Structure 1
């Protein structure tokens, strides 16, 4: 796909993702739609209102009515879309830096549009084939009150409130100034938790930290856990579809470890779990232990959700899916990443154990990620050619090319692939020792940098 990558389309706002671009995308969506109205939401980014106005204009110009939800988490827009039976457009750049923004397309079932549907939108967009209706057929525009509260109430009805309340937990919460600042504090308090917060003021400048919930951005959360004697820390990204955890000592929990713990509580023999090609050995081990199958996809929530739907259509039971970046999916709840729901499901695990004890069986692996930026398409192609040659020379590893180039060494693996949202080639590595993982990642990354330089 030229426009929509692994999770929507993103870029620097007002440079790559401009109001004109957003309007064109919305007109294309409005042209291929079957429903008469669509929902539009946004996260807290400074450019969100500007782009939402452009999206609403494009949809109206194509004859579609618009339900404006205002600032909501992405999973709140998805829940509204599913409940109302309307498609949606979310204006968000998720975990990307403040200067970025983007568009994510959601179907009337509340699920991110699959690849074939995105390609239909792209064909209209790139072919300049968008429809334009007469003045008296343009769409109407209305604001929807209470969308955030409706979302919180749906969450409250989907988790074990009694089990969580009985745990008597203090939760340290870092919504990162994003959309989750308007929903997650109330949600966890209504679950019976004592909630203390940092970076909980909605602010599109993201003054306290960058939106990506990674340890280098979450030092304040670790300090808050220790200062408040919290049982767990929870962090979101900009649109709150991810949850990353800190244990009761204020130390970060690897996202792959929390994913494995959540998966172990869900999976039974004969089930199927779905993850991306950068899947951790932790999840591989869980699936082998319980007798579940593991399906791998290219990286990105769009690919994972499409595969879940395909497996459901084939009669498979898929109780858990996602990635080790905090984006966990519980398909029996919704085929959507939902940071607040994932956080609550983790709290359920803490009814009879500490956070560190919950993930202890999945310790022992170290992860490293290195980004190798590129300037233009020619440089990107040169980097990928080097990655292919490097991978093919690794005679002592098993090569997988589902998405990029993954080398499995039995005790460790390394993967190089182009990002779907940023101009970088990402190099991931995992091993039982930090030095082994670092050597694998640095070796692959250095080969790429040499080609670029």
Structure 2
């Protein structure tokens, strides 16, 4: 797809993401949906109102009334869509830096659109084919209050509150100034936890840290866990559909490790799980141990959702799925990523095992993962970088998988190179039991790809 990446459309405000584009996406989505009412929500970004207004205008222009629900986490939007039977246009750039904004599209079942559904909307945008309403048929807008409260109550009812409360946990929460700031601190208090917070004021400038919950952005949370003697830290991205954990020592738990720990508790023989092409061997090991099966997709929530729906249609049970970035699905609860709910499921795990985080995740932490990103300025540079990646992959003495980019499995380690679906970057991932092995694999690929980019710049 040209307009939609691995999870909607995103870009730098005023450059690649403009009010005109947002209006056209809304008009296209409204035309495809042909819905009487559509939901509009946003995250905390400073440009949120600008784009929510543009989206609401676009929807009204094709005859849809609009429910404006304000600043709501992505899982809260999904909850409202499912409850009301309405589709939504959510203005959010998720984990991207503050200068970005974007759009996610959610169906009337409360599920982000599949690849095919996004393609239908994209075709309308590219062709500028919108079914505009006459003057007396344009839509109206209304404001709806209390969605965050109702969403939190729904999630609370779906977890074992008694077990979590009995565990007497002290939880440090870092919503990263995003939409989760309006829900997660109180949500974990309602679970019976003692809660301390950092970066918990909603602020679209993201003054405390960038929205992506990666280790280099979680220093404040790690320090808070140690200072407050917390049992666990929980961090979200900008739209709070992801959860990354910090153990009782103040060390970040790799998202691949927490996914494996959650999967080990959820999977039974005959089950399936779905993960992206950058899946860790940690999850592969868990799946094998459980007697379950693993399905790989291209990176991105829409691809995972599409495959989960296909498997469930075939009668296959998929109790858990996700990526190692903290985006975990529990499809029996809702077919969407939910940072607060995943946080609660992790607390259930701590309560059930009666052990500190470091002990709970220890069986799944035996691998070292390296992640690198290389920026590019134009399509010529990207083409050169991917060409170099393909040549490297074809010449390597390893098993090649091209589900998404080029993944090389060396038996004792693997490396993946692929273009980002949300930023002008090429991602490189490598994993091995020893850090030096992972570093050497990543460095070899990065050097080859960077050399091709530099040559394209100087051509």
Q: Same fold (TM over 0.5)?
A: yes
**Distance in 1 (alpha carbons) for counterparts of 2:131 and 2:422:** 28
Query: Counterpart of 1:84?
Result: 84
Query: Counterpart of 1:355?
Result: 357
Give SS of 2:10's match: strand
Query: Counterpart of 1:260?
Result: 260
Where structure 2 has 5 or more consecutive residues not aligned to the other structure, the ranges are 455-459
Q: Number of residues paired by the alignment?
A: 452
Question: Counterparts of 1:230-309 in structure 2 under 5 Å?
Answer: 230-309=230-309
**How far does residue 7 in structure 1 lie from its aligned partner after superposition?**
0.4
Query: Counterpart of 1:449?
Result: 450
1:137 aligns to 2:132 (yes or no)? no
**How far does residue 378 in structure 1 lie from its aligned partner after superposition?**
1.3
Query: What per-residue deviation string (whole Å, max 9, x for no partner) do you get for residues 184-230 of structure 1?
Result: 01100000000000000000000000000011000110110011110
**Distance in 1 (alpha carbons) for counterparts of 2:409 and 2:107:** 36
Match of 1:385 among 381, 384, 387: 387
**Distance in 1 (alpha carbons) for counterparts of 2:107 and 2:56:** 17
Query: Counterpart of 2:371?
Result: 369
Give SS of 2:104's match: strand
Where structure 1 has 5 or more consecutive residues not aligned to the other structure, the ranges are none
Question: Counterparts of 1:156-167 in structure 2 under 5 Å?
Answer: 156-167=156-167
Give SS of 2:404's match: coil
Give SS of 1:274's match: strand
Moved over 4 A (4+): none
Per the normalisation by structure 1, the TM-score is 0.99
**Distance in 2 (alpha carbons) for counterparts of 1:126 and 1:401:** 28
Give SS of 1:368's match: strand
Question: Counterparts of 1:126-205 in structure 2 under 5 Å?
Answer: 126-205=126-205
Query: Counterpart of 1:15?
Result: 15
**Distance in 1 (alpha carbons) for counterparts of 2:34 and 2:133:** 15
Query: Counterpart of 2:401?
Result: 400
Query: What per-residue deviation string (whole Å, max 9, x for no partner) do you get for residues 271-300 of structure 1?
Result: 000000000000000000010000000000
**Distance in 1 (alpha carbons) for counterparts of 2:395 and 2:115:** 32
**Distance in 1 (alpha carbons) for counterparts of 2:37 and 2:380:** 41
**How far does residue 35 in structure 1 lie from its aligned partner after superposition?**
2.3
Query: Counterpart of 1:336?
Result: 336
1:326 aligns to 2:323 (yes or no)? no
Query: What per-residue deviation string (whole Å, max 9, x for no partner) do you get for residues 247-268 of structure 1?
Result: 0111110100000000000000
Per the normalisation by structure 2, the TM-score is 0.98
Query: What per-residue deviation string (whole Å, max 9, x for no partner) do you get for residues 279-330 of structure 1?
Result: 0000000000010000000000000001000001011000000000000000
**How far does residue 100 in structure 1 lie from its aligned partner after superposition?**
0.3
**How far does residue 65 in structure 1 lie from its aligned partner after superposition?**
0.8
**How far does residue 422 in structure 1 lie from its aligned partner after superposition?**
0.5
Query: Counterpart of 2:440?
Result: 439
Give SS of 2:266's match: coil
Query: Counterpart of 2:457?
Result: none
**How far does residue 34 in structure 1 lie from its aligned partner after superposition?**
3.4
RMSD (Å) for aligned C-alpha atoms: 0.6
**Distance in 2 (alpha carbons) for counterparts of 1:452 and 1:113:** 34
Query: What per-residue deviation string (whole Å, max 9, x for no partner) do you get for residues 406-447 of structure 1?
Result: 000111100000000101110000111111111111110100
